[in-house]
Structure 1
Amino acid sequence: MTVPPPPDGRKPGDQAPEDHNPWSPPSPGPAPAHWAPYPRAPISVPQPHNGMGIAALVLGIVGVVLGLLVILFWMSWLPALLAVIFGCVGLSQARKGLATNKAMAVAGVVLGGVGLLTAIGGAVFTVVVVKKAADKARAEVGKVKASASAADKARHLSFGESYTFEDGLKVTVAKPEPFIPDAYAHGHAKGNKAVQVTVTVVNTGTERVEVETGLPDVNDADGASAELVIDGSGRQKVITGYVLPGRRAVGKYAFSLPPDAADKVEVEFSPDAMRWKDAYWKGPTN
């Protein structure tokens, strides 16, 4: 059995000093050593991932602004769509505790949705406006074509009818009459049929008007141009010079037609070929 050491610190077997008082308290030993506190490692706190929410908010604002500018609606859909996507990602991170800006993410999703709606509205509005403009343009073109067709139709007449040009000259072409050239006629071949075309021009305006081209063109039934007949009989008269207001000028012209194409002719005439389109008179010669 092990014997515990005496309280005075003596080893077993050592002799006690003479003045030792066995009943005195033990002498105090050396002071206990003081241990330095163990250093603690710093606890790292993860940073919040707020980038998605911020990006969603910024892109949502950009999408709404571009959508409100009608001419830039086609640019608003992309930032608005990205705002919705980034906002949804930001909300997911906020639910997991990885982000602290849930409100920004929600605002980005809402603004992105508004931007998409404005982009769709701008597209619909643009389509409607363009369609109306196109319809209006087509209607105007149709009116112009109809007016041109009506004007062109009005310039095609029968013999004896009148057409008034924009300078106020009213032109009438009578039905062609047979014409017998003299022996010295030029432009008439033997066997052809010669006809005389009478053109009457009346000035219905208030100012005198000059007749720049008083010579008509005649086409036979086959569409070929007839040849002008010139002789020395003095029966032909060319309209030249000015026609005074309320006055008239009469021109008479002879043309030679092939016998097989002389049953129907067309007379083409304009008092000023540089300014006004020709009018046409058509009909049989018999």
Structure 2
Amino acid sequence: MTMPSPSPAQPYGPPGMPGMPQAPLPQPRNGLGVTALVLGIVGLVFAIIPIFFWLGAILGVLALIFGIIGASRASKGLATNKGMAITGTVLGGLSVVVAVIWVIVLATAVKDVAEELDKVKVDGTPSASAAPGGEATDAPSKDTGEKAPAALKFGDTFTYDDGIKVTVSQPKAHTPDGFAAGHTKGNKAFQVTITIVNGSDKPLDVAGALPDAKDAQGAAADMVFDGSYASKPFQGKVLPGKQATAQYTFSLAPAAAGELQVELSPTILEHDAQIWTGPTK
């Protein structure tokens, strides 16, 4: 009796052969890059606000972490938004830097106030403010009740009695980058360079030398920070005979951008603030 021959086995090709279902491609994991960018922007906004700089520092650190991981994923082909992750990392780092500057400024202010109170306790009377004089009109002590000195022109140098000199340059137009904080779209930005020369016989702490600015209508002008150092504040101390230079950029409404007023004191309590004013370029 003839037995039926077994049917030949059906061939099976390896995975991926024609006719076989293809495995779906993995979706790009872009979440960390997006998160880094959002945290970086929000962190920088909070960092420039004195009472919220600590929150800006926390968000900045998180933006750094998420941005670095997101950029690493993009380098491995797991994400497609490497540029977004890098931008978030940069903004996070800038947020931390601005927050550190505020820490230095506030610590210096507290230290100066404490020293001033110690002087009052020892002497029994408040220490006298340094009376300005020299190249500009003399300014009276804060306790005299007399009128403040006339405003200086941009480019003028004011010399205090202890030899400290302050110069504020003529404002020049500045274009903030796309991630600038403190600048309103449509406003005009102007940058001034401030130079402090320590002509005294002791180190001068200039970390607290932050200028205030007003526009032509007397409204306060916001200080601008961006990745291109629109504002680069003073830091640390200046030795006798040395000088320090800093740049500050302010955002002005177009209707009041024709004139700028800058007020600055080289120290918080020891020197009277002086005012420089003039047209912008």
Normalising by structure 1, what TM-score?
Answer: 0.46
The answer to which structure, 1 or 2, has the higher relative contact order (CA under 8 A, 6+ apart) is 2
- Structure ID, larger Rg: 1
Q: TM-score, normalization: structure 2?
A: 0.47
